[in-house]
Amino acid sequence: MKSLQKGILLITTCVLLSSCYSYTAVVGKGPQTNQKASKWNHYAVYGLAPISVVDSKELVGDAKDYSINITHTFINGLVSGLTFGLYNPTTVTVTK
């Protein structure tokens, strides 16, 4: 019984302490005007199969200095959890 409780505690701790991932790329001098544009990437089967991926050049426009941030937000994780991992979105944010 104690090993079952320890196992449940370990799994619960791992789930609660997991974090959302984030990747940021800075181009040029980085964001200058703090204008932001966001869209979702759409993936299937735990993120293995891309369905629709955002063209970041479309979000950047003609800006020469900007940053691109790709994150798995709480809302993205919630949607992924509700679909049991069959649909996994990520959020792309471009800051000019």
Query: What is residue 56's predicted lDDT score, i.e. its pLDDT?
Result: 87
The residue range of the domain holding 75 is 20-95
Instruction: Give the pLDDT mean for 54-83.
Output: 90
Burial, 89: exposed, middle or buried (Cβ in 10 Å; 0-12, 13-18, 19+)? buried
pLDDT in tens, 25-62: 999 999 988 899 999 999 999 888 999 999 988 889 88
Give the dihedral sign, CA 32/65/36/92.
negative
pLDDT in tens, 8-23: 888 887 766 666 678 8
Tell me, yes or no, whether 9 lies in a domain: no
Residue identified by tokens 């966001």 is: 38
Sheet holding 87-95, edge to edge: 22-27, 66-71, 87-95, 36-44, 49-52
Provide the whole-model pTM.
0.74
Query: What is residue 12's predicted lDDT score, i.e. its pLDDT?
Result: 80
Query: What is residue 18's predicted lDDT score, i.e. its pLDDT?
Result: 62
Count of domains observed in the chain? 1
Tell me, yes or no, whether 10 lies in a domain: no
Tell me, yes or no, whether 27 lies in a domain: yes
Tell me, yes or no, whether 42 lies in a domain: yes
